Amino acid sequence: MTLRQAALVRYASPEQVPDPYADTLGDLLERYDREVSSKKRGASAEAYRIGKLRRSLLAALPVAELTSKAVADYRAERSSEVSSSSVRSEISLIRRTLETARREWGYQLLTNVAALVALPAPGAARDRRLRAGEYEALRDALVGHPLAWAYVRFAIETAMRRGEILSLRWRDAFLSLGCVHIPKTKNGRPRTVPLTDEALYVLRGLKPQSEYVFPIDIHALRWAWTTACTRAGIEDLRLHDLRHEGVSRLLELGLSPPEVATVSGHLTLSQLMRYTHPDAQRIRAKLAGRRTGQSVE
Active site residue 11: no
Query: Which one from 102, 186, 222, 274 is the annotated catalytic residue?
Result: 186
How far is CA 177 from each of CA 148, 173, 186, 194, 195, rounded to the nearest angstrom? Answer: 25, 9, 24, 9, 9
Active site residue 186: yes
Active site residue 74: no
Query: Which one from 78, 191, 275, 277 is the annotated catalytic residue?
Result: 275
Q: How far apart are CA 153 and CA 29, in angstroms?
A: 37
Q: Which of 228, 264, 234 is nearest to 246 (CA)?
A: 264
Active site residue 151: no
Decide: 90 and 77 in contact? Cβ < 8 Å. Answer: no
Query: Which one from 49, 54, 95, 161 is the annotated catalytic residue?
Result: 161
Active site residue 161: yes
How far is CA 60 from each of CA 31, 56, 93, 195, 196, rounded to the nearest angstrom? Answer: 15, 7, 16, 49, 51
Query: Which one from 40, 240, 282, 286 is the annotated catalytic residue?
Result: 240
Count the Cβ atoms, other than its own, within 10 Å of residue 207. Answer: 4
Query: Which one from 243, 244, 249, 277 is the annotated catalytic residue?
Result: 243
Which sequence positions are flagged as catalytic?
161, 186, 240, 243, 266, 275
